[in-house]
Amino acid sequence: MPVEDSLETPAGPISLHGFTELLSAMRKTTYIDSDALPVWLDETEKQDPRGFLESFWGGYEIPECRFLLWELLSGALKGNVDGYHCQAPASTLVYFFEQLCCHLEASHLLFAEKASAKGNQPNGSASLMEPSLEQPSTTPLSPAIHHPAFEDFFDLNYVADLRAELEDWLATAMATEEVCERPANLLFLHDQMLAFTKAAFELYEAQGLEAELLPSPTLNVSSALAVIETRLKQVEDFPLHLSPAEWQNPLLVIKECCERFDLEEWQILLHDLLRAALAKESFSTIVEPELILPFTQQLTRLLEACYLLFISQDNAV
């Protein structure tokens, strides 16, 4: 195959003709409502997605993937300097970057699990893998753990709506000209999130989460799922950013979030985010750029973990 007609990949060269067909299919699926997914996997890979993971991780290493993704995000966000204008908002790119990084690491775990199963591991060796949703924990439930403020907060707000509003808020704060939200909406959301993070820190202190030892599991996954099914205000409220271990123990997330930023730092970041959204000044010029990803990610995870505690409290013993 001539070099100019092929595209080099870790698995070897592929036909540009085949690649453009896949690209065309992806574009149609992206911009036109369709259930024809996935479009990038061939029939064999659809039957056994793990085969694709084996091929992928045979060609890439995690550090290389992180570097390439960061280059992609950096180029997209800085493209305006060179006259290129991104069609997607900055918040969408940031969210995609986070999700794709999580996907890479999760799929790498699946591949590592498969590779380990092929080896001659002792039958009695203890598994270091986190519990999965397919194998619910039998750990007894602890007494209800929640904060009174969560009752009013989650009765007033839908999690899915909050996620969307936070994304719009970030998009407004990252832009210097376009305004995506009305000032009144931003002020209300800002006040709500200030009260919410304060309640999370009060729960952090009340449960003694500052101790070195990790908190015990508080939820039985299968029981929690049953409660969630009946308590969800809408299907879209389902937590999307928590691991199986965090499903069983949302206090792990609260501990991580409260130790990543203290309460004063949370309040300052929320104030700065509001300031950027109301002024023609980018959030990335007000705070250190490397704080934006962890701040937005932890805020979403904290929101979902507290919601999981809130809707599961009636099922506690």
pLDDT above 50 for 281:
yes
| Res 48: pLDDT | 74
DSSP letter, residue 7: E
Query: Do residues 284 and 174 make contact, with C-beta atoms less than 8 angstroms apart?
Result: yes
pLDDT tens-place string over residues 20-79: 454 444 444 443 444 445 555 666 766 777 777 777 777 777 776 776 666 666 665 555
| Res 163: pLDDT | 78
| Res 215: pLDDT | 52
Specify which of 14-18, 25-29, 182-186, 304-308 reaches the highest per-range mean pLDDT.
304-308
State how far the Cα of 302 lies from the Cα of 297, in Å rounded to an integer: 9
**Nearest in space to 90 (alpha carbons), one of 103, 77, 75:** 77
**Mean per-residue pLDDT for 77-106?**
55
Distances (CA, A) of 232 to 127, 161, 179, 219, 226: 33, 13, 31, 17, 10
State how far the Cα of 68 lies from the Cα of 17, in Å rounded to an integer: 24
pLDDT tens-place string over residues 178-233: 555 566 667 777 888 888 888 888 888 887 777 655 555 554 545 555 555 555 55
Query: Do residues 194 and 270 make contact, with C-beta atoms less than 8 angstroms apart?
Result: yes
Residues sharing a CB contact under 8 Å with residue 222, sequence separation 6 or more, in sequence order? 136
63 preceded by a cis bond (ω within 30 of 0): no
- Coil vs helix vs strand at 307: helix
pLDDT tens-place string over residues 223-262: 555 555 555 555 455 666 777 778 778 888 888 888 888 8
Query: Do residues 197 and 267 make contact, with C-beta atoms less than 8 angstroms apart?
Result: yes
Query: Do residues 296 and 163 make contact, with C-beta atoms less than 8 angstroms apart?
Result: no
> Between these two residues, 39 and 143, which has the higher pLDDT value?
39
Q: What rounded mean pLDDT belongs to the chain?
A: 64
**Mean per-residue pLDDT for 80-105?**
55
Query: Do residues 39 and 29 make contact, with C-beta atoms less than 8 angstroms apart?
Result: yes
| Res 119: pLDDT | 62
| Res 250: pLDDT | 83
Sign of the Cα torsion 110, 112, 117, 123 reads: negative
Q: DSSP string covering 176-229, please?
A: SS---S-HHHHHHHHHHHHHHHHHHHHHHHHTTTTSSSPPPP---HHHHHHHHH
pLDDT tens-place string over residues 176-191: 555 555 666 677 778 8
| Res 313: pLDDT | 62
Query: Do residues 112 and 104 make contact, with C-beta atoms less than 8 angstroms apart?
Result: no
- Coil vs helix vs strand at 54: helix
